[in-house]
Amino acid sequence: MTNTALDDAGRCLLSVAWNIRTGGPRSDPYADATRTRLRTLCRTLGHATCRHAETGAPGDHVPALRLADLAYEIDILLMLVGTSLVPSPRRDHRRRQEIDALLAGLDTLAAEAAAALDEVCVPG
């Protein structure tokens, strides 16, 4: 029997990975690298979470949902930096600082989500 809460969390991660933006009006290697990292992390953990849920084994779905929420928030902030009608270096710098602060907790949250599963390998 499938652990539906865990399966839903895995599908949520996959949905976030699918919907992370690509490119943008202004070329930004930092944003592209960050989005690639988010997409890979969400896709990898999303598939692993769904596989784990299929076994019916228990697992905490909340860390996976928090990770999905964080990845979505970072993607939105990256969009705000890259698509303003009137570029503002000061505002972009403030948002970049916020993104960096969120990214600092990403690995910890990914490790928590992976710890809820048995055989997951999290990309670095």
Question: What tens digit of pLDDT does each residue of 22-36 get?
Answer: 866 667 888 999 999
Is residue 124 included in any domain, yes or no? Answer: no
Q: Which domain holds residue 65?
A: 4-115
C-beta neighbour count of 101 within 10 angstroms? 9
Q: Is residue 13 part of a domain?
A: yes
User: Does 14 fall in a domain?
Assistant: yes
Say how many domains are in the chain: 1
User: Which residue positions in the chain have pLDDT lower than 50?
Assistant: 120-122, 124
For residue 122, being part of any structural domain is answered with no
Domain-located, residue 123: no
- 53 in any annotated domain: yes
